A and B are shown apart, each in its own frame.
Chain A
Amino acid sequence: MSGKVIYLDNNATTRVAEEVIAEMLPYLTTYYGNASSMHNFGGVLRHKIDQARQSAAQLLHCEPDEIIFTSGGTESDNTAIRGALALDQTKRHIITSRVEHPAVRSTCRELQREGYRLTELGVDRLGRLNLDELDRSISDDTALVSIMYANNESGVVFPMEQIAQICQSYGVHLHTDAVQAAGKLPINLAETPIDMLSLSGHKLHAPKGVGALFIRRGTAVAPFMVGGHQEFGKRAGTENVPSIIGLGKACELTREHLQEENGLVRALRDKLEEGLLRDCLDAHVNGDREIRLPNTTNISFDYVEGEAILLLLDRLGICASSGSACTSGSLEPSHVLRAMGVPFTSVHGSIRFSLSRYNTAEEIDTVIREMPGIIRRLRDISMFKPEQDATTTAPAERKPQLWASDKMGG
Chain B
Amino acid sequence: MWEYSDSVKDHFFNPRNVGVIEEPDGIGEVGSLACGDALKLMFKVDNQEKITEVKFQTFGCGSAIAAASALTEMIKGKTVAEAEKITNKDIADYLGGLPEQKMHCSVMGREALEAAIDHYRIGSTSSRIQEGKVICSCFGVTEEEIRRVIGENNLKTVEQVTNYCKAGGGCGGCHPDIEELLEERTVETTEPSLPKASLSPALRKPLTNIQKIQLVQKTLNEQVRPALQADGGDLELIDVDGNRVIIAFRGMCAQCQVSDFTMAEVVQAKLRIFVSEDIIVEEQKT
Report A's interface with B, CB cutoff 8 A.
Answer: 98, 109, 112-113, 120, 122, 303-308, 311-312, 314-315, 324-326, 329-333, 335, 338-339, 344-345, 348, 380-384, 390, 393-401
Beta-carbon nearest neighbor of B33 in chain A: A390
Complex contact B256–A311 (CB within 8 A): no
Chain B positions 1-46 with a Cβ under 8 Å from a chain A Cβ: 1-2, 12-13, 15, 18, 29, 32-38, 40
**Chain B residues with CB below 8 A from A399, complex form:** 138, 170-171, 231, 252, 256
Complex contact B256–A398 (CB within 8 A): yes
Chain B positions 94-137 with a Cβ under 8 Å from a chain A Cβ: 101-102, 134, 137
**Chain B residues with CB below 8 A from A396, complex form:** 134, 137, 140, 258
A390 to B262, CA, bound (A): 24
Of B59, B139, B258, the contact of A304 (CB 8 Å cutoff): B59
Q: Which of A120, A330, A396, A399 has the most CB of B within 10 A?
A: A399
Complex contact A397–B57 (CB within 8 A): no
Beta-carbon nearest neighbor of A113 in chain B: B221
A390 to B232, CA, bound (A): 23
A394 to B33, CA, bound (A): 7
Report B's interface with A, CB cutoff 8 A.
Answer: 1-2, 12-13, 15, 18, 29, 32-38, 40, 57-62, 64-65, 101-102, 134, 137-140, 162, 166, 169-171, 173, 221-222, 225-226, 229-233, 251-253, 255-258, 262
Known A-B contacts A331-B139, A395-B34; A324 and B61 likewise in contact (beta carbons under 8 Å): yes
Complex contact B33–A398 (CB within 8 A): no
**Chain A residues with CB below 8 A from B140, complex form:** 395-396
- How many pairs of A and B residues are in contact by the CB < 8 Å rule? 129
Of A113, A329, A330, A398, the contact of B137 (CB 8 Å cutoff): A398
A357 to B258, CA, bound (A): 49
Complex contact A381–B57 (CB within 8 A): yes
* Min CB gap B265→A, angstroms: 11
**Chain A residues with CB below 8 A from B258, complex form:** 396-398
A181 to B276, CA, bound (A): 50
**Chain A residues with CB below 8 A from B257, complex form:** 400-401
Complex contact A331–B36 (CB within 8 A): yes
Complex contact A400–B57 (CB within 8 A): no
A339 to B232, CA, bound (A): 8
Complex contact B36–A397 (CB within 8 A): no
Instruction: Give the secondary structure class of B's interface.
Output: mixed
Q: Which of A330, A396, A397 has the most CB of B within 10 A?
A: A397
* Min CB gap A316→B, angstroms: 12
**Chain B residues with CB below 8 A from A333, complex form:** 36
**Chain B residues with CB below 8 A from A332, complex form:** 169-170, 230
Beta-carbon nearest neighbor of A395 in chain B: B140
Complex contact B262–A398 (CB within 8 A): yes
A286 to B211, CA, bound (A): 48
* Min CB gap A25→B, angstroms: 31
Instruction: For the A-B complex with A308-B62, A380-B18, A398-B262 known, give 7 more contacts whose Cβ atoms are closer than 8 Å.
Output: A331-B139, A331-B170, A338-B232, A344-B34, A396-B258, A397-B258, A398-B173
**Chain B residues with CB below 8 A from A383, complex form:** 29, 38, 40, 57-59
Complex contact A384–B36 (CB within 8 A): no
Complex contact B1–A381 (CB within 8 A): no
A264 to B233, CA, bound (A): 41
**Chain A residues with CB below 8 A from B64, complex form:** 305
**Chain B residues with CB below 8 A from A330, complex form:** 169
